[in-house]
Amino acid sequence: MEDPELITQAIANNVRAQRAHRGLTLDALAARSGVSRGMLVQVEQGRTNPSVSTLTRIASALGVTVARLVEVADVPMVRVVDKADVVAFRQGNGEARLLVGADVPMILELWDWRLAPGEHHDGDAHPAGTREMLTVLEGS
């Protein structure tokens, strides 16, 4: 698994670069994403480890995947993700692991969620036209 500090810095660099690429101010990104300007400043300065929900909002507002925001290095056209490079987020007593992701033309994220009995994850709504696939391996 990647070093958490390395991931925090990658998120900071990637959010700042994606925002700059689109010519957005912090205020404009805050308005688009519903994430406060203060939180965006902390994310871009690498002073916070944002939640999955916050990253999802930022990624959606920028038109990229969460995978793009946590990417430590540039992504080649064909990609093999080593088990050690999978990014994990603590979620209650469980864990959300971002296995792989891709940007346009077809935005895709593959997650492995492990939730403890009785736990759930309430995420923000996806953009119109999003398709979500789910497989329950154990439990209900």
In a domain, 138, yes or no: no
Provide the pLDDT for residue 84. 83
Sheet holding 94-102, edge to edge: 87-91, 94-102, 108-114
CATH of the domain at 72: 1.10.260.40
Residues 6+ apart with CB under 8 A from 58: 15, 29, 33, 35, 40, 43, 50, 69
Q: CA–CA distance from 20 to each of 17, 26, 40, 110 (Å)?
A: 5, 10, 13, 27
Percent of the chain at pLDDT > 70 equals 89
This prediction has a pTM of: 0.60
Tokens, residue 119: 């736990």
For residue 82, which amino acid is it?
D
Q: What is the mean pLDDT of residues 17-30?
A: 93
Q: List pLDDT tens digits, range 28-66.
A: 999 999 999 999 999 999 999 899 999 999 999 999 989
Domain span at residue 83 reads 4-114
Task: Report how many domains make up the chain.
Answer: 1
The answer to whether position 122 is within a domain reads no
Identify whether 134 is part of a domain: no
When mean pLDDT is compared across 68-72, 105-109, 129-133, the lowest value belongs to 105-109
